[in-house]
Structure 1
Amino acid sequence: MNSASSTNPLFYGWVVVAAAFVITFVGFGSAYTFSAFVPSLQHDFGASRGSVSLVFSLAGFLYFALGVVSGPLADRWGARSLAMLGMVLVGAGLALASVARTIFEVYAAYGLGVGLGVGCAYVPAIGAVQRWFVGRRGFASGIAVSGIGVGTLVMPPLASWLIDILGWRSAYLVLGGFTAIVGVGMSCFIANDPRDKGTGPDGVPLTKGEATIVSTGASVGEAIRSPQFVGLYAACLICSFGVFVPFVHLVPYALDHHVDQTAAVLLLGVIGVGSTVGRFFLGGLADRIGRESFLSMMFIGMAVALAIWGIATDFWPLAVFALLFGIFYGGWVAILPAVVMDRFGGRNVSSVIGILYTSVAIGTLVGPTAAGFIFDMSHSYTLPILASVSANIIAAGIAVFAMRAPRTAMRG
């Protein structure tokens, strides 16, 4: 199938990509502001670092785990309504966190609201993008999920600024209103199937009775029983124990090493810069060198970056870590949905992505929380960082082995 027509500015697939970009920007951007709120939450509620970390972990668990529900619903009913619901829930969760009286109410408002909201929107939006492209799938997927990177760049400094001038409660309220308005508005542009716009993937016109990649592929049962899915699941599970530790603990780590508050929060923005670069540019590179080999390279890259974190104590070494980690993390997030589409086809792509992301959910729940409680006991992040490095090396080996398995047969 010729993908040249995908460069046509009128091709609606790029509108879907833009909508998914904004959804991931406001959804994950709001979620990743959490580190900027940690000092305020610790101060106001007298909470330990481990217990505060649990708020982020709960949200992360939910927004990845819920894909197992939202993915199949999107395959059946379309992604637009689920994305809209998700953005409403994110906005409501942030707004309710602003009036929390105890740390447990923050758990309920932020954890459940943001977690359920991103969970409703993320997998359906990203799954919809996969159906619109073939030849440039990695590039399109990378742009869509680069909203996470740009959100990580823009939203934490914005949150820090709002906290400084309004206080943490009003900051949550403002972020909630912004997320709901912008997120719901852009969700209206999500479309599940290029055939609804009279084209096949990449904008190629359909002929009468032509089947497209959208309607072909493995059943959910065939996909999840395949050795390549089992390997991908194991690799993502192990990797995720360490991948999300920096999003919660990098700012406190920097503050512990006498980096000032503004510069410490800026490190999250540096992760966002790297992540944006990784998602924009590495997705297209993966299309050329092979998306499956590229996936294993991203695990190794994250391990190397995390090793740098283990020896960094000043702002600039930490910034180098943050940039490199962001690049490889962004590449991993960008290419994973495209690998799923390549391996299992488009018929149930959102369902398969949603099930795969439950592995990330478990890692997100356990990793940052365990790192927080280990710090509370040892007053050091050395063990969590070393464990994160090891997890990514093991994940790379599993991914290489899994990708050698025969491709799952496609069927209509």
Structure 2
Amino acid sequence: MFYGWAIVGSGFFMSIIGIGSRYCYGVFLKSLEVEFGITRMMTSSIFSLYMLLCSIIAVFSGWAMDEYGPKRVGIFMGTFTGLSFFLTSMANSAWQLFITYSLLFSLGTGAIYTIVNSTVSKWFVKKRGLVVGITSSGGGLGTFIMAPIMTYLISSFDWRTAFIVLGFFTWIGIGAMSLLLRRDPHDLGLLPDGDQSEPVQGGVTKEAWEVPRGDFSPGQAYKMSQFWILGFSWLLLSLSFHLIFVHIVPYAVDQGISPMDASFILSLIGISNVLGRIVLGKLSDLVGRKSLAITSALIQAGALLWLMWTHRLWMLYVFAIPFGFTFGGSSAMITALVGDIFGTRNLGVIMGILIAGFALGAAIGPAIGGYVFDVSGQYFMAFVAGTFSILITAFIIALIRRVPDQ
């Protein structure tokens, strides 16, 4: 079997563990709020600072991967992720969470998306949309699994016990999966896709490749409009998604829904995210990425409009499925477009910088939600902001145009 599939499997499980643990924060939010007597805005800011630091780390993660290889970087990530959760469980003051969670957890997972997806993109060309969809879908599956487990641990024991369990699991899991990673197929004397001769970038429609077919340096990439379009679209998409992911559980609990039922909303978003990344990622290899990404963004905006007037549990479940599915698809297609546009030679550095925009959006979104709630006592205007950010995303993705080959 082509070793590239071992890379995909390793990246998939790293995403389950690393991204899944990231998206569990919403189930801890009210416990931290009560424990330390802090506002919704301040509790949200712990996660926002974490994502802001991730945006900085993402810039350097591509360089670190190209310099030291994904295996060494992955082991470093697992160590700091476990350490972060262990120390967070011992915090006795809110300010300490900004160090134990925000800083140390960002050192542990700030590079994970870059490492996983830029690595698999080097191993596959013709199936890039599919494999990126698979690896990035791990975060959705991780959320589906971890959110109810963490909720159970919090309700049966306490939030500190939940963080200890999470720390042990992430430390061992990320470190073990990192041992399977290899920089690119040439390290093992192989070619992308397991081909026996140098591949051409085929297997997708013209629209999927309506971009240059060369390997661009970071300096060249920064001068291209596609670079800034993709970066800004990732920022806005992430802003909307993380606003919901951090605040949907407290929003539901505030409506009188039990914490366990509310955590299942996260699980539904997570599992729908998995399906969206795989199904739409594969479909984008066949019909083209841009139009499909625009359609997904518009459906996601429609789901947010539904959420604005949603107060019952079944309505929240109905919201979760299309929201998670289309976010997963949009994110996977934008990720694949990065490799399509800029090539794979400098993909680690280029994707690391672009993912900084994603992380910045993830820092802004939860902060907006917390501020709006503290000022107004509700989330309506925060959901409006999330909807507009998705509509702008659809518009700017439409601006991507083909440029001549190098």
Q: Offset at 1:405?
A: 4.3
Give 1:5-404 correspondences, 5 Å limit: 10-206=1-197, 217-401=215-399, 403-404=400-401
Q: Offset at 1:198?
A: 2.1
Q: Offset at 1:295?
A: 2.3
CA contact (8 A) 1:16 1:189 kept: yes
CA contact (8 A) 1:216 1:347 kept: no
Letter in 1 for 2:300: M
CA contact (8 A) 1:58 1:115 kept: no
The equivalent residue for 2:403 is: 406
Letter in 1 for 2:317: A
CA distance in 2, matches of 1:229, 1:110: 31
Ranges in structure 2 where 5+ consecutive residues have no aligned partner: 202-212
Q: Offset at 1:392?
A: 0.7
Letter in 2 for 1:322: A
Ranges in structure 1 where 5+ consecutive residues have no aligned partner: 1-9
Q: How many pairs were matched up? A: 395
CA distance in 1, matches of 2:395, 2:199: 37
CA contact (8 A) 1:271 1:325 kept: yes
Q: Offset at 1:98?
A: 0.1
- Greater mean alpha carbon deviation, residues 351-360 or residues 139-148: 351-360
CA contact (8 A) 2:277 2:331 kept: yes
Letter in 2 for 1:399: I
Q: Secondary structure at the match of 2:110?
A: helix
CA distance in 2, matches of 1:387, 1:292: 24
Letter in 1 for 2:35: D
CA distance in 2, matches of 1:211, 1:263: 49
Change beyond 3 A, Cα 1:64–1:278 = farther
Q: Offset at 1:174?
A: 1.0
Q: Offset at 1:238?
A: 2.8
CA contact (8 A) 1:84 1:121 kept: no
Q: Secondary structure at the match of 2:297?
A: helix
CA contact (8 A) 1:153 1:269 kept: yes
- Give per-residue Cα distances to partners, 1:351-409, cap 9 Å, x unaligned: 111111121122111111121011111011111101111111111111111x12415x4
CA distance in 1, matches of 2:129, 2:402: 21
CA distance in 2, matches of 1:38, 1:135: 42
- Give per-residue Cα distances to partners, 1:182-207, cap 9 Å, x unaligned: 1100111111111122221110124x
- Give per-residue Cα distances to partners, 1:278-297, cap 9 Å, x unaligned: 11211101111102322222
Which consecutive segments of 4 or more residues in structure 1 shift more than 6 A? none
TM-score between both structures, scaled by the size of structure 2: 0.94
- Greater mean alpha carbon deviation, residues 238-247 or residues 373-382: 238-247
CA distance in 1, matches of 2:312, 2:155: 24
Q: Offset at 1:211?
A: 8.8
- Give per-residue Cα distances to partners, 1:335-366, cap 9 Å, x unaligned: 22210000010011111111111211221111
Letter in 2 for 1:283: G
CA distance in 1, matches of 2:75, 2:295: 35
Indicate the RMSD between aligned Cα atoms, in angstroms.
1.7
CA contact (8 A) 1:79 1:190 kept: yes
- Give per-residue Cα distances to partners, 1:286-315, cap 9 Å, x unaligned: 111102322222322221111111111101
Change beyond 3 A, Cα 1:125–1:240 = closer
Letter in 2 for 1:38: L
